Structure 1
Amino acid sequence: MTTYTASSYLWLGDYEQARHHAERAVRSHDSTPAGQRSLSREAIAHLDLGIALAHLGAPDEAIAYGLRALSSPRMVTSVHARAGRPGHRPGCEIPRKQTGGGVSGGPGSNAGRNGIMSETDATLAARELRIRKPYFDLIASGIKTVEVRVAYASMRKIQPGQDLDFVCGEERLPTRVVRVSQYASFEEMLEQEDPIAIGGDLGKNPQELLAVIRSIYPPEKERLGVLAIGVEKVIL
């Protein structure tokens, strides 16, 4: 059932929850004896995880999971269909990695604030991050000025001065990165950063905020390192 849960969250555009449930599905399949596995569901779990990671700004990991899914010995129609239109939902298309480096908003996308540009197009390529509605609203209100992410290789490329669009469904909020701080753990990060600037009222209880963050990112992700990305809204 975890596989179907991840697929449902993809359709809803909640990529953090989709990632969480897809990772659980992958771990479940990996721990199942070979003769008892459903290879088609295993492939779908890998595709779902790849789609979620792509939307969360980790294209290299997304590609790895996608290739693992496509190497499945049981490529049923549903797997082919998902691979052909990954993560399709109204108003939501997955970013695609370009051969020239960086990430693009898709075929025919223009360099500029409406998409993610290749790093060859600008010194600091514009980026976009998908985010849940409550946190999107906190950034829009000016309360949340720090976005917390795991230090995937692609996320570590974000630099001060870079344009960063937060996206939630059809809504888009332009911001600019003012600083990027890296920490060894979420706990260390919360000791140095303002919890309210991260989670609004939730930050009034740092331990509760820590628990929420760790419910999103499992320990193996936290071990990659933690980024606190300071942002300011851009008035267009």
Structure 2
Amino acid sequence: MPQPSVPAPAGRFSDDEREAVYRAIHTRRDVRGQFLPDPIPEELLRRLLLAAHHAPSVGLMQPWNFIVIEDSSVKSRIRDAFDHANETAANLFPAERRALYSKLKLQGISEAPVNLCVTCDRSRGGDLVLGRTHNRDTDLYSTVCAVQNLWLAARAEGIGLGWVSIFDDADLRSILHLPEHVVPVAYLCLGHVVELYEEPELQARGWASRLPLDDLIFRDRWGEAR
């Protein structure tokens, strides 16, 4: 009979280990146009997926699945779906923003050797899940944690990752044959890269800037500055 797991010492990481974690966080980038055509070795891809699979999830429901897409015909259909949605999106912005929007590269679907759709199975764990009793969307939040784990692991491995979010949900569902209870949470492009922007690309191109942290921290209640 297996012995119950017991807590292990929660020691501080070494200086080098801690620095590596923060480096991955601060130098992570959303990659769109710097992908190389080199394939991602299967063992490396599995390490990335294993990192995602070790994300925290409410009630240990682990609601994620990972659809690995390498077939060029599937990528082509996904790219067409993006182009259609992106044209609609561009027209939503005022004219002075639309010109810059049209110059932004917002996907690397065709260039990236691996595309990955991370989904959330909203039936995972049954009708009653510990920690989900008062907020049904904790399964979606948990799936996003898996995406972040994968992103940071990819940065540590020198793999670029870009999140493509401009899709009509129905298009992804149709192309990827998703059942009704499964939600597409993130469509990702992965591949080797030689260089990354020193700052977020949207910041470098003048679309937006990182907000000052001190403006976002309250104490005890909303609006109370520290």
User: TM-score, structure 1 length as denominator?
Assistant: 0.22
Larger radius of gyration: 2
* More relative contact order, 1 or 2 (CA 8 Å, 6+ apart): 2
